[in-house]
Amino acid sequence: MNRRELLLAGVSAAAAGSLAYPGTSRAQAPKEVTIGVIYPMSGASAQVGIDARNAFETALDIINNDHQLDLVAAKGAGLAALGGAKIRLVFADHQADPQKGRAEAERLITQEKVSAIIGCYQSSVSATVSAVTERYGVPFLCADSSSPSLQRRNMKFFFRPAAQDEMFSAAMFDFFDAQKKKGKKIDSVGLFFEDTIFGVDSSNTQRKLANDRGYKIAADVKYRTNSPSLTAEVQQLKSADPDVLMPSTYTTDAMLLVKTMAELGFKPKNLVAQASGFSEQVTYDAVGDKLKGAITRASFSLDLAAKRPFIKTVNDMFKARSTRDLNDNTSRQFMGLLLLAEAINRAGSLEGPKVRDALAATDIPGTSTIMPWARVKYGPDGQNPEASPVLLQYLGDKFVTIFPSEVAIADAIWPMNG
């Protein structure tokens, strides 16, 4: 072995033993790139984790195999800049518990030597996991947690390609303003939100928007997440009878809310949800007969497949695994992994700081995604400000796009019950 080979061997050994950047690049291109995926795989939110796994594995197929689609990271097999290395996913279960999420992030970084982590659905878990990744200098791709406060912590390794709840809520109130201009009645809103970061951030944003735009807040109801009963809270909503009920709830709470409203005879004039539980198929399987005409904000619309045929191809791939269509959550999860893989490939390295810099330099047109986004280009806070939201209405047992007008395929039914 000559002097140069000895030096290279020494560098490689040092990299293998490094804990500061567990994904450090090697002298030779790696055969695989390991990414940690932290989601609720058990407990009340287990279905979210199951659906997320199907979304990530669909994206994995796109990345690791050659798919001739006009979609980011689709063409060619593996990561070309890393010698065709394939992505390997390591799944971890946080059980909707921030402390379990913290422990799993530590394990993935120090034991599995992941090059990046993607997660985590619940904003409270994403907050703790991203704090861990920041400390280790490992990129965190926030696929679907939407609390605005996540981007306001002066973090360098945090990136979110999808919209956050200030952006989503602004779209809701733009829609309300447009409805009023058409002569529709909407004077008051009722806020109903769970007590973790997601619900509190959402309600703070909606409260401010209502006040700024002249809508009366007829109800402002906070409840404990995973509460066994929502009877008292629904009685408050029924008494206030707002023109629009605006829930910010996760899946099990969304189902309980709808069932309790039916039991107490409260039929909202309109319901415009902050997605989450109201974007999940399991909710509509359980109580969809009581949600005809419900509206939810979203990052994704299957209607867009008429303009971008590859969206149907991707949806068919996902549906073959899951027996359901892509929705607001699974579309963001799918796109998140593709965007992360594209950045790692552009970095040509597994080193955390280099992948971080590649993510920061991302500039991808929205037409290369499955989303209605204008583009993917992160700001200094890691947020993509050009992730354009849409509003969907549940009509005829499926969602159709009703807002904004340039992408809508139907007018909103308002009030929702006709």
Domain CATH code at residue 355: 3.40.50.2300
Ramachandran sector of residue 275 (left: φ over 0; alpha: ψ -120 to 50; beta: rest): left
Tokens of 100: 């379990």
Q: To the nearest whole number, what is the mean pLDDT of the chain? A: 92
Region of residue 408 (phi > 0: left; psi between -120 and 50: alpha; otherwise: beta): beta
Are 215 and 114 members of one domain?
Answer: no
User: How many other β-carbons are positioned within 10 Å of the β-carbon of residue 365?
Assistant: 13
Tell the burial category of 44 from Cβ atoms under 10 Å away from its Cβ (0-12, 13-18, 19+).
middle
Query: Mean pLDDT over residues 287-293, rounded?
Result: 95
DSSP calls for 206-222: HHHHHHHHT-EEEEEEE
Domain match, 70 and 190 both? no
User: Do 179 and 208 contact (CB within 8 A), yes or no?
Assistant: no
pLDDT per position as a tens digit, 51-65: 999 999 999 999 999
Asked whether 373 and 110 are in contact (CB, 8 A), the reply is: no
- Domain assignment present for 43: yes
pLDDT-based confidence at 13, cuts 50/70/90? very low
Q: What is the mean pLDDT of residues 17-25?
A: 42
For residues 274 and 209, the answer to whether their CB atoms sit within 8 Å is no
pLDDT band at 70 (very low <50, low <70, confident <90, very high): very high
Domain assignment present for 410: no
Say if 265 falls within a structural domain: yes
User: Which pLDDT band holds residue 11 (cuts at 50, 70, 90)?
Assistant: very low
Q: Please report whether residue 180 resides in a domain.
A: yes
Q: Which amino acid is at 367?
A: T
Residue 418 pLDDT grade (very low, low, confident, very high; cuts 50, 70, 90): low
Q: Exposed/middle/buried for 178, CB within 10 Å: 0-12, 13-18, 19+?
A: middle
Q: What is the pTM of this model?
A: 0.87
Distances (CA, A) of 205 to 28, 77, 374: 49, 43, 23
In a domain, 416, yes or no: no
SS3 324: coil
Segment 10-16 mean pLDDT? 36
With beta carbons less than 8 A apart as the criterion, state whether 158 and 177 touch.
no
Q: What is the mean pLDDT of residues 245-264?
A: 96
Q: Give a yes or no: residue 264 inside a domain.
A: yes
Above 70 in pLDDT, residue 17?
no
**9/131 same-domain check:** yes
- 297-330 confidence digits (pLDDT tens): 999 999 999 989 999 999 999 999 999 999 999 9
Render pLDDT for 351-366 as a digit per residue (tens, 0 to 9): 999 999 999 999 999 9
Residue-wise pLDDT for 87-113, tens only, equals 999 999 999 999 999 999 999 999 999
Mean pLDDT over 288-294 rounds to 95
Together in a domain, 69 and 145: yes
> Is the Cβ–Cβ distance between 231 and 205 less than 8 Å?
no
User: Is position 191 within any domain?
Assistant: yes
DSSP string, 327-380: -HHHHHHHHHHHHHHHHHHHHTS--HHHHHHHHHT--EEGGGSSS--SEE---T
Confidence class for position 22, pLDDT limits 50, 70, 90: very low
400-411 confidence digits (pLDDT tens): 999 999 889 999
Q: Domain containing 198: what range?
A: 166-298+390-403
Check whether residue 10 and residue 116 sit in a common domain.
Answer: yes
Instruction: Give the pLDDT of residue 168.
Output: 95
Q: Which residue has the tokens 């950045």?
A: 343
Quick check: 5 pLDDT over 60? Answer: no
pLDDT (mean) for 44-51: 93
Q: Kindly state whether residue 214 falls inside one of the protein's structural domains.
A: yes
User: 213 with 270, same domain?
Assistant: yes
One domain for residues 106 and 81: yes
> Is the model's pLDDT at 268 over the cut of 50?
yes
Identify which has the larger pLDDT, 377 or 405: 377
Asked if residue 271 and residue 365 are part of one domain, the reply reads no
Q: Is the same domain home to 310 and 245?
A: no
Indicate whether 358 and 218 sit together in one domain: no
Domains identified in the chain, total number? 2
The one-letter amino acid code at 19 reads: L
Please, which pLDDT band fits residue 157 given cuts at 50, 70 and 90?
very high
pLDDT at 16 over 90: no
Averaged pLDDT, 294-299 = 95
Q: What is the reported pLDDT for 279?
A: 85
Statement to judge: residues 398 and 372 lie in one domain: no
**78 and 48 belong to one structural domain:** yes
The average pLDDT across 223-239 equals 97
Higher pLDDT, 279 or 231: 231
**What pLDDT is recorded for position 18?**
40
For a pLDDT cut of 90, what percent of the chain falls above it?
Answer: 89
